[in-house]
Structure formats: structure tokens, C-alpha cells
Structure 1
Amino acid sequence: MHSLSSVLSYLLTGFGRLFYLVSPWASTFDHYEDVPDYIAESIPFFTMTIVLEFLTLLFSNKGKGLLKQQTWGSHRYALNDMVGSIGSGMLQTLSRYFLYNLTLNSYLYVYQNFRVVTLDPNHLGLWIAGFFIIDLGYYWFHRAAHEINLFWATHVVHHSSEYYNQTTALRQSIFQPYCSWLFDLPAALFLPPSLFVAHKQFNTLFQYWIHTEVVGNLGPLEYIINTPSAHRVHHGRNPYCIDKNYAGTLIIWDILFGTFELERVEPHVKESKDVAPVAYGLTHPIDTFDPFTVQFHHLSHVLRTCYTTSGWSNKLKVLFYGPGWHQGTPRTGLLEEIPPIATDQPPAKYDPPVSLAINAYVLVHFVGLIMASGIFFNLKPSTVPALSLYLVTIYIFGTLTSFGWLFDHKPWAVQTECGRCLILCLLLKVAEHHGIMGSAWTTPLQAMHLVSGLCILAARHTPKTHAKSE
């Protein structure tokens, strides 16, 4: 009975954090270093919600949500997209090892040198105030990330998926942490760092569960908190969805600042002809699973456009006006230039078919990548030797790139994956030589990847000429 109650307590606490249902007293600490890593502790609950969402789609509506059909309500999961989304989350986590915790360190610097008042973090009223302050700061960061082109380059990765499920929440940019910290600094003038660290994590966790299509309209809550319905609009590429619903936890900020938009489904439309299902992704899809392109494509576009644009004034506008701006348009561009979305059927998703053998191969190796990365990410950045960091970076980025090329049907993809397996064997030997890993681990891993290299050469793609799913 004791073990059962412990399990129930663990589950209630873990799921509660995803909904910001936390005890102020249990999440209040005198020092920021005492605040637990709530996001790391939530990884099992990310896994559980992904599985629950998948099973819900499998067993509801005769499994239509998983069928690869070009109809509304179908094709809501794909392995290639899931690997791309979770892989992007890994890359963002990896990026903090190169510029260690810019968000926290900049906050601490301002708090220690410029705060205007010293407040007791154990005061309930201050905990509540911190909830609102951090959420408001997120709203303005999120709005800037959509309405300033250079900032959009740090956020566009999150919107690059044409799917909307729990894994989409994990699709993040390498560069976003190096932009969002600017919007946290005003709070550092008075909010103790321990409250900042706690609320920052809870605010992030709340935004995870809203990435789903299996939760419908939540009635009056749609006008109070951010909901799956509200955030579906935010992820839409329909003209009516552009630059709407920037909320983190509370949708009231969007209502106050004029960026609120309801999803155009029943009961929010007067007539059925006004229903406009949301199509997800970028207004101009990038059609690739290559992580390098996913992470850097818009930054590259911004810098090229800035370089080729004449006049310093226009160059600055390219950087700091909206991503839709060009000469002769308003600051954020023209909605009329956004490609319209037909209501009878959704746009075709980029989903090049690959063989069952390739999918199974990638899935097995991707699970291995997740496990290996999880072990590494438990290490504090300050304790990781430079060589280990470089080897892990090569392993994660190289593996995700190889998988992306397999999904994209690149002509050299199979040979690249075979080469990756051989290179990994060499990296494991280097790790063993430098004492990073023992032979008890490296020997079986080397054998597995040598066999994998041979197996992938025997696999075959399904020859298709159309990249868009039908």
C-alpha cells in the first residue's frame, strides 16, 4: 500500500507540474541552486503523454488520426517528423554546454548588481507575483520572436513541423536561449533568482501539454489560460492565424494587447461555411528533415537578404522588422501575401515514403541516441571535458543528419549512414583510449555499429517520385 501511494504521489506531482498545479510552499527555496531541475524530472511524463496521445489516436475514430491520408483529422504522427522534433530538442539542450546558462547568469548579474529591492522569496504574495511576471516576460519575448526577423530566426525551428502533437513541443532552436534571456532581465530588478528559476521551468512545462489535437475547446478557459485550441491557432499558417496567441500560460495577455484569436471551429463560428481548420507549419515549408537546414535556414536567409539589400536603413529593417516585411509593406508585412489554405482538404505534408526496414533501423538507433544523450545531459556543463563535449556533439548532430538524409532520400544517405557507423566505432575507440568509456561498453557498441553498417547497405528505399504525402 505504501508503494502504491508513493507511485500515485509521484504521478500526481509529475503530471501536476505540466499544468502548473504546484504547491508554492513546495517550490519555494532560499537559494536558486536548491531549485530542482523540474524539466529533467518531467522527461518520463513527456514520454507518457506522447504514448497516451498516440494510443488515443490509434483507438479513437477507427485510428483515422494515424492514417496517411490528405484529409483533416488524419496523418497526425510520422516517425520522420517525430525524430526531427525530438532531435531538435536534443540539439537545444546540447547548445547550453557551449555557452553555459546565459539565461541564469545574466539574470544573476543584474540581480546582484542592479536590483532595486531585496525581497523574501518565501512570501506567498511574491510567489504569485512571480507567476504573472515571468509569464508576461514570456509573452513579450514570444511576440518579438515572431515580429522581429532576426529573433524569428531563433524561433522558426519550433514552427517548422507540419504536424501538431506532443513531440512538436520538443522541437526547439539552438539559438533561442541566446535571445529569450533579454526579456527576463526586468524581473531581475526585484524578483529573487530562486523564484525566477522555479517559475521559468513551470512556465516552460505548461507549454508542453498544449501541443496536441486530441483536446478540443475548453469553454470559458479559452479566455483565461493558454489552451491546445488557442495554441493550435498560434501554430497555424492560415492567414487568420499569423501573429496570434503568443501566450505562455495566460491567454489574458493576448486579449489585453490585441493578439487574441479563437480557433475557427464550432461553437466559435456562426455558420459551418466559416469553419477554417488549422494547417500547421511555415507559410513556405522547407521540405526537409536535415537538422542543419531546419536549424539554420532562416538565419541564413536573413543574413543573405540583409547583405543584398541596398541602404543601411533597409538593411536594419530586414533584421528588425517582421519576417514578412519587404520594401513597400508595413512593419510586419501584408497578410494578403500569406498563401491561403483551402478548407476542403489540408495541404499535403512533406513525407517521403521509406521502407519498413529503414524506419525500423532508424527507430532502433534513435532510441539508442536518446539513451546515450540522456546519460550525457545529466552531467553539469561545467564538469564536462572539452573532448567529451566535442565527441558527443559530433555523435548527436551527425546521427540526426544521417537520419534526416535517409528520410529525405538523399542519393548518398545509405553510404553516409554506413560511414557514420564506422566513424562511431572510431570515436568509441578514442573514448576508450582517453578513459571516457570502458571496454565493457565500447566493445559491444562497436560490434553493434559494425553490424548496423552492413545491414543498412542491404536496406532499400521504396522508390517514389512524390515527396508530399497523398
Structure 2
Amino acid sequence: MITNNNETTITLARCLKDGGIEAGKDIASIFYLMPIHDTIKDDIYDVTNYEVKLIPVIALMVTIEQIIRIIMRKQLSRFEDCFINIASSLVFTLTRVVMFTIVLRIYSWLYTNYALVHLPLHSASTWIISLLLVEFVYYWTHRALHEFNFLWAAHQFHHMAEDVNISTTIRDSVVDLVIYDIFPIPLALFIHPQILFVHLQFSLIYQIWLHNEVVGHLGPLEYLINTPRQHRVHHGKNPYCIDKNYGALLMIWDRIFGTYQVELDEEKIVFGTVSPTPKTFDMMTLMFGYYKNVWQRFKNCDNYREKMASLFYGPGWSPGKPRLGLIEEIPEVDHKAPRYIYTPYVAIWKKAYILFHSVAILIGFYMIADHPLIKFDPWKMTFCMTYLLLAITSFGALFDNRSYLIILEIFRCIVYFVFDQYVLQSTQWPVHQSTSVLIHLSLWTIRLGHLLSIMFWICMWIINLFTTNTIDDKHKSPKMTSSNEKIIYDSNEGQSQTSTDSDETLHQDSTYPVRLKASTFFILMAMMVFVFVPLTMSYLFVVPSCSRYYETYFFDRYLSFAQNITKMANYSTLMIGGN
């Protein structure tokens, strides 16, 4: 047991040092800066799943980006957009954990039986050659996602984002995932599966920092690697931005194949898609809604050739036009128009509620996503995915103010306890005693939160039975001007303008794009910076480092506390029995 204060201070310093070093390595790896020998393993199943490991670093970068936006006096990214991005990333990552278990076997089988060359495994030259080949395949995969309409149906979800921020990187559909993992399979004829697995992960991970509006020109680096300035062009719907800059780490293939485009300082880039975006935050609609458009175009074509062209030509094609359509038909962006197509009012209590439950899901996701007893159990993995989709759908209904959200949220909270019993409690956690205490404390906090949520929504349901008001107060109704015009805020200028939407098809509670006060966002960000981030970083980096020093220290005190409680209970029993 640790008793000396000086020794405790020294040990704490070592904990902080080790945790800081580990966090620094993880942050550096985001930029592809890592020792090559640390990533190469003799067994493919020993290769680290970096996409799961780096989740806390991504969360930290999202927060840091918003702080920088405050300092630069830029408007903060929308809470709803960030939620959709992060929620879709959980579905993406959980599905990819399963996909990797399948794809890695295919990679290994191909390399073992049909490899055309056998390059040395522990070699820097092999690592670099593999990087160039993966970049080449990624370039053409990404380009195909833009130039084939049936593939664009999967990828357009990523480009729907009207804000480009760190969280936009991980806004990908499940079909996107399958495409990104299947296209590189032929590389297993040339590359060791262990190295291929690492590069496939970092071709996505590197792009995390590319999605932001706060990093400007980076000088000579612009000629060597992909940068945020170049990737903003890729996300623009300005005519000069369409179908440009497909690279991940390197822009060499864009320059060779004629798709490279620099950002023009004289024309501000507007993000999003040329086609209208669905006016909802339901992720299933956003992710798969475009397939309806693909089917309608296919069905309306007159002959077999046109039907095939509607699938394998670009989204801008129509009969009589070139394969990718006419760039002249892409409308010029209107910089005076509202930045956001759809911005329903979301009360602050709803944001706080979703924030709590999102953190709970993130903690649970981080614990189970790459756990061997989960990813190799198809029933548990299916249950995890089902619950995750249920939660995302319920939160989307909360953003959209759907009439059925109360029943859906009560059902979700009840299902959580089934998930807790079937998945969490039946899974063994190979951790130190001190970490185990924190895990159980977190789980009981989450359970209490779900129990209180059930009680809250039941009360709201009862209230709604006896009132005709919506969940939000009457004074939160849309601000109206004459002639049924709603006030719409232009996020670029910070000024209001009016627009008539007599043909509006939205439901009654989600039609008013009111911008919250800066103080509200500041409070939310303060909570993130001073509460969520320190707790998360200490939980994920410092605690694992401390556990090997403080295991006895924590456990002995926990055991002593339990023994004292037991003695008090026994003494009380004797006293009652004596009376």
C-alpha cells in the first residue's frame, strides 16, 4: 500500500507523464506521424484497430476546433450536424469492425495463396510502396463514388453536410464502408495484409483534420500533401469545385489525372450538394433516401441503354448529355441565401438530454466496439447495431420534434436495460481493479440516467394527454412576419431575412430556423471543455497508466470501505437482535 506522500506525488507525476506521452502519440498518428515498426505486426490479428483506439482523440479535436472557432469569432458548428456526423460514425465503425474480420481473412487467403510478389515485411520501403498503392486505389474508389450514380447514392450522405468540421470526416454511410473495404482487395496480391490493414485505416483517419474551416494556407506543404484548404474544394458545390481533389494523404494522383483544383480566394466556397437535401435529421432518411431518386430515374428511362446509363453514369447525366453531365448546368451559388436549408428550433434542454445520452453511448461504444467477445459473437453484434440505430432514430425524432418521439424514447430507454443485461453485464472486462471501479461507476450513472429518462417521458406523455400544446412552450413558436413569412437567419452575415414558404411540407414543430444565443453555445462548450474532455482524457489515458501504480492503493481502500460497511451491518443486526 502507498503511504508516503512524496512517493504518491512521484507516482502521480509518472501517471500524468505516461498518459501525456500516450495521448501525444495518438494525436501524432492522426497526421500519419508514427514509428513504422510500431504498426507492423507478424500476425494480422495483432494489428491495432486504430479507428476505435483514436475515438477519444477525435472527440478532443472536435472540441478544440470549436474553441478555435470561438477565438476566430466564427459561428460554431451546429449541434444537430455534429450529432448526425458522430452518430453515423458509430454505425460506420461498428460495421467496419465486423467487415474487417471478414475482409482480413480474404486479404490473408489471397496473399497466402496467390501473392505475385513477396516484399520484406519489416521494411520501410515496403511500407512506403504500400502507401502509394493504397493511395492510388483510394483515389479511384473515391472518384468512382462521385462518377457512378448508384455509388453516389451511398457517398452523397457524406457531402450533404452544410458545415465542414472535424466531425464531418466520420459522416459516412454503411454502403460507403463496404465499397472502401472491397475495392482494395486486389492489393492483397502485392501487399502484406498487416501493412494493408494499417494503411486502409489511416487513409480515413488522416482525413479527420482535413475537414475544417479554421486552417488556412500551409505554404510548401500544399505541394506535398492534402491539406484542409484543398479538401474544402472537394466539399464545395460551387461549379469550379465539382468532382475535384479526390486524394486522401497525397494529391499526386489528382495532379496526374487532371482532377486537382486550388481554392480560389476571390470566391467563397459553399458546402453541400447541388441537389436538394432532405429536410430532416433522421439519419436513415439522409443515408438511404437518395436510392429512391436512383430508382425513379431508372424506372423513367425509355430503354435498356438509358436505364444502365442512369446507374453507371454520373448523377448529373440525363439523355443527350455527356457521361458526367454539363458543368454549365450547375447553378452558381447564391451567397446571400441562407447557409442552412433546414434548421428547426431545438430547445436547450433537448440538447443537454441528447448530450448526456450521446456520451453514454460513446462510453459504451468505446468499451465494446473492438471487444473479442462482442465482435466475434454475431448475435451480440447484431443487438449492438440494432440498439445503436434505434437510439439514432429516436434522437433524430427529437431534433425533428416528431409526434411519436415520446413513445419511441421510452421504448429506447427500456431496451437499454436489455442491452445492459445481455451485452454489458455478460462481457468480461480484462482490466485492473481501479479501472473496474470507474467502469462500474459509469455504468450505474448511465443506468440511473435512463431510469430518470423513462420517468420524465412518461410524465411528458401524461401532460400531453391533457393539453393540446406541443412539448416546447408556446413562446417558442416560429417568429412570423406579414404574409406568413418566417424569419430565417443567414449564418454568414448574422442578419435576418424573410422568405415565403406557403408550400412548406415540413411538419408543424420543425419549421423555424431560430439561432440560439451565443451564451447558450458558450455554456455548452464550457461543459465540454471543463467537464467532458478532462474526464474523458483522464479515463482513457491517465487511468490506464495509473492503474499499474495505484492498483493496490485503490483496491485496498475500496476493500477497507466494504469491510467497514459489513462490520456496521453486522453490529446493527446484533443490536436489533439483542433488543
TM-score bracket, normalised by the shorter chain, equals 0.7 to 0.9
Query: Match for 2:36 among 21, 24, 29?
Result: 24
Contact 1:102–1:178 (CA under 8 A) maintained in structure 2: no
Contact 2:294–2:311 (CA under 8 A) maintained in structure 1: yes
Contact 2:159–2:273 (CA under 8 A) maintained in structure 1: yes
Contact 1:424–1:449 (CA under 8 A) maintained in structure 2: no
Partner of 1:329: 321
Partner of 2:362: 370
CA distance 1:45–1:455, change in 2 (3 Å): farther
Partner of 1:71: none
Partner of 1:124: 124
Query: What whole-Å deviation, never above 9, does each CA across 1:129-161 have from its counterpart, x for those lacking one?
Result: 111111111111111111111221222221121
Contact 1:149–1:321 (CA under 8 A) maintained in structure 2: yes
> Which moved further from structure 2: 150-159 or 456-465?
456-465
Where in structure 2 are the equivalents of 1:88-103 lying within 5 Å?
88-96=88-96, 101-103=101-103
Instruction: Kindly state the Cα deviation for residue 9 of structure 1 after the two structures are TM-superposed.
Output: 2.4
| Structure 2: distance between partners of 1:106 and 1:330 | 38
Identity over aligned pairs, percent: 32
Query: What whole-Å deviation, never above 9, does each CA across 1:222-242 have from its counterpart, x for those lacking one?
Result: 222110011111011111111
Contact 2:368–2:374 (CA under 8 A) maintained in structure 1: no
Query: Match for 1:287 among 262, 273, 279?
Result: 279
| Structure 2: distance between partners of 1:443 and 1:250 | 46
Contact 2:162–2:340 (CA under 8 A) maintained in structure 1: no
Contact 1:234–1:243 (CA under 8 A) maintained in structure 2: yes
Does residue 1:202 correspond to 2:193, yes or no? no
CA distance 1:334–1:167, change in 2 (3 Å): same
Contact 1:222–1:251 (CA under 8 A) maintained in structure 2: no
Instruction: Kindly state the Cα deviation for residue 220 of structure 1 after the two structures are TM-superposed.
Output: 2.4
Does residue 1:65 correspond to 2:65, yes or no? no
Partner of 2:229: 229
3-state SS of 2:256 partner: helix
| Structure 2: distance between partners of 1:38 and 1:307 | 43
Query: How many residues in Structure 1 have an aligned counterpart in Structure 2?
Result: 447
Query: What whole-Å deviation, never above 9, does each CA across 1:241-298 have from its counterpart, x for those lacking one?
Result: 1100001000121111100111111xxxxxxxxx111111111222221011111112
Where in structure 2 are the equivalents of 1:17-166 lying within 5 Å?
17-61=29-73, 64-66=74-76, 77-96=77-96, 101-166=101-166
Does residue 1:463 correspond to 2:469, yes or no? no
Contact 1:15–1:45 (CA under 8 A) maintained in structure 2: yes
Q: Which amino acid aligns with 1:34?
A: D
Instruction: Kindly state the Cα deviation for residue 315 of structure 1 after the two structures are TM-superposed.
Output: 1.5
Where in structure 2 are the equivalents of 1:336-351 lying within 5 Å?
336-344=328-336, 347-351=339-343
CA distance 1:5–1:369, change in 2 (3 Å): closer
Q: Which amino acid aligns with 2:328?
A: E
Partner of 2:455: 451
Instruction: Kindly state the Cα deviation for residue 353 of structure 1 after the two structures are TM-superposed.
Output: 1.1
CA distance 1:433–1:17, change in 2 (3 Å): closer
Instruction: Kindly state the Cα deviation for residue 422 of structure 1 after the two structures are TM-superposed.
Output: 4.3
Query: Match for 1:410 among 402, 409, 412?
Result: 402
CA distance 1:221–1:97, change in 2 (3 Å): closer
Does residue 1:357 correspond to 2:349, yes or no? yes
CA distance 1:230–1:103, change in 2 (3 Å): farther
| Structure 2: distance between partners of 1:42 and 1:97 | 14
CA distance 1:460–1:415, change in 2 (3 Å): farther
Consecutive unaligned residues in structure 2, runs of 5 or more? 1-12, 429-439, 464-470, 479-485, 487-510, 516-579
RMSD: 2.8
CA distance 1:368–1:430, change in 2 (3 Å): closer
Query: What whole-Å deviation, never above 9, does each CA across 1:71-128 have from its counterpart, x for those lacking one?
Result: xxxxxx1111111000111111233466564443332333233211222111221111
TM score, norm. by length of structure 1: 0.87
Contact 2:234–2:241 (CA under 8 A) maintained in structure 1: yes
CA distance 1:314–1:16, change in 2 (3 Å): same
Query: Match for 2:304 among 302, 306, 312?
Result: 312
CA distance 1:198–1:390, change in 2 (3 Å): closer
CA distance 1:288–1:252, change in 2 (3 Å): same
Q: Which amino acid aligns with 2:233?
A: V
Instruction: Kindly state the Cα deviation for residue 420 of structure 1 after the two structures are TM-superposed.
Output: 3.2
Does residue 1:431 correspond to 2:422, yes or no? yes
> Which moved further from structure 2: 164-173 or 102-111?
102-111
Q: Which amino acid aligns with 1:65?
A: Q
> Which moved further from structure 2: 43-52 or 443-452?
443-452
3-state SS of 2:230 partner: helix
Query: Match for 2:267 among 276, 298, 316?
Result: 276
Contact 1:349–1:469 (CA under 8 A) maintained in structure 2: no
Instruction: Kindly state the Cα deviation for residue 443 of structure 1 after the two structures are TM-superposed.
Output: 6.5
Does residue 1:245 correspond to 2:245, yes or no? yes
Instruction: Kindly state the Cα deviation for residue 186 of structure 1 after the two structures are TM-superposed.
Output: 3.2
Partner of 2:570: none
Q: Which amino acid aligns with 1:91?
A: V
Q: Which amino acid aligns with 1:251?
A: M
Contact 1:28–1:122 (CA under 8 A) maintained in structure 2: yes
Contact 2:162–2:339 (CA under 8 A) maintained in structure 1: no
Instruction: Kindly state the Cα deviation for residue 452 of structure 1 after the two structures are TM-superposed.
Output: 3.8
CA distance 1:38–1:198, change in 2 (3 Å): same
CA distance 1:105–1:469, change in 2 (3 Å): farther
| Structure 2: distance between partners of 1:20 and 1:357 | 39
Partner of 1:74: none
Query: What whole-Å deviation, never above 9, does each CA across 1:192-228 have from its counterpart, x for those lacking one?
Result: 1111112222222111111111101112222221100
| Structure 1: distance between partners of 2:98 and 2:24 | 35
CA distance 1:404–1:339, change in 2 (3 Å): farther
| Structure 1: distance between partners of 2:131 and 2:424 | 49
> Which moved further from structure 2: 247-256 or 339-348?
339-348
Instruction: Kindly state the Cα deviation for residue 326 of structure 1 after the two structures are TM-superposed.
Output: 1.3
- Highest CA radius of gyration, 1 or 2? 2
Q: Which amino acid aligns with 2:24?
A: L
CA distance 1:455–1:377, change in 2 (3 Å): farther
| Structure 2: distance between partners of 1:432 and 1:118 | 42
Instruction: Kindly state the Cα deviation for residue 19 of structure 1 after the two structures are TM-superposed.
Output: 0.7
Instruction: Kindly state the Cα deviation for residue 8 of structure 1 after the two structures are TM-superposed.
Output: 3.9
3-state SS of 1:247 partner: coil
Contact 1:279–1:346 (CA under 8 A) maintained in structure 2: no
Contact 1:91–1:174 (CA under 8 A) maintained in structure 2: yes
Contact 1:31–1:193 (CA under 8 A) maintained in structure 2: no
Contact 2:298–2:310 (CA under 8 A) maintained in structure 1: yes
Instruction: Kindly state the Cα deviation for residue 2 of structure 1 after the two structures are TM-superposed.
Output: 4.2
Q: Which of the two has greater helix per residue?
A: 2
3-state SS of 1:154 partner: helix
